[in-house]
């Protein structure tokens, strides 16, 4: 668990606990339903992050303010050194306050500790603010067009992590 401070708000970044599953689900359903539609894979992952992410070697991160989850993202393990960044969401009242940066920092640090060689994501180009955040952290577009996992995705981005020296 790490503590981080943004602006005048004290934000704590923590990893998954069962008590945060409802927040993980609701934060993500809100943005998905606002921009797209909920797919079956969303329902599976959001209703059972422990079984679909944690038990398979991944992690879910939460930005907490006053003990309440106001942001989240997940790393889903695909093989022993490749992870997918998925289900990143920040509550509308907390957007623009740097939570995306805090979550990205924590997620990338966690992946590096596990000697990940790559993190990829699938998104949609209508989510311009998210795409800009990913680019800021070094993600590069590796495919435009149809996604592998999600019908709504039209971009795949990849971050190559350097080997520790």
pLDDT of residue 151: 83
CB 58 within 8 A of CB 76: yes
Q: How far apart, in whole angstroms, are the C-alpha atoms of residue 95 and residue 8?
A: 14
> If you average pLDDT over every residue of the chain, what do you get?
90
Length of the chain: 165
Where does the pLDDT of residue 163 fall: very low under 50, low under 70, confident under 90, or very high at 90 and above? low
- Alpha helix segments (H runs only) across the chain: 21-35, 40-47, 49-52, 99-113, 128-136
Edge-to-edge strands, sheet with 2-6: 2-6, 9-15, 59-65, 68-79, 82-90, 118-123, 155-160, 140-144
Handedness of CA 157, 152, 63, 98 (dihedral sign): positive
Q: Name beta bridge partners: 86.
A: 74
CB 43 within 8 A of CB 89: no
Q: What tokens appear for 32 in the block?
A: 């998905």
Q: Name beta bridge partners: 119.
A: 83, 159
CB 65 within 8 A of CB 10: yes
What average pLDDT score do residues 6-33 get?
88
155 vs 143, higher pLDDT:
155
Could you give the 3-state DSSP secondary structure of residue 151? coil
Tell me: the pLDDT tens digits for 37-79?
A: 999 999 999 999 999 999 999 999 999 999 999 999 999 999 8
What average pLDDT score do residues 86-112 get?
94
Q: What tokens appear for 54 in the block?
A: 């944690």
pTM, full prediction: 0.90
Where does the pLDDT of residue 25 fall: very low under 50, low under 70, confident under 90, or very high at 90 and above? very high
Where does the pLDDT of residue 145 fall: very low under 50, low under 70, confident under 90, or very high at 90 and above? confident
Domains and CATH numbers, the chain: 2-114 (3.40.630.30)
């Amino acid at each position: 668990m790490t503590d981080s401070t943004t602006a005048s708000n004290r934000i704590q970044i923590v990893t998954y606990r069962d008590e945060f599953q409802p927040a993980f689900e609701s934060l993500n359903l809100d943005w998905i339903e606002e921009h797209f539609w909920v797919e079956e894979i969303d329902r599976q992952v959001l209703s059972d992050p422990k079984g679909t992410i944690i038990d398979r070697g991944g992690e879910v991160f939460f930005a907490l303010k006053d003990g309440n989850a106001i942001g989240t993202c997940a790393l889903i393990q695909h093989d022993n050194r490749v992870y997918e960044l998925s289900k990143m969401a920040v509550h509308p009242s907390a957007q623009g306050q740097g939570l995306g940066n805090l979550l990205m920092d924590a997620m990338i640090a966690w992946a590096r500790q596990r000697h990940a060689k790559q993190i990829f994501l699938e998104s949609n180009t209508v989510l311009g603010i998210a795409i800009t955040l990913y680019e800021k952290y070094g993600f590069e577009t590796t495919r435009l067009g149809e996604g592998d996992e999600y019908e709504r995705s039209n971009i795949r981005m990849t971050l190559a992590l350097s080997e520790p020296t």
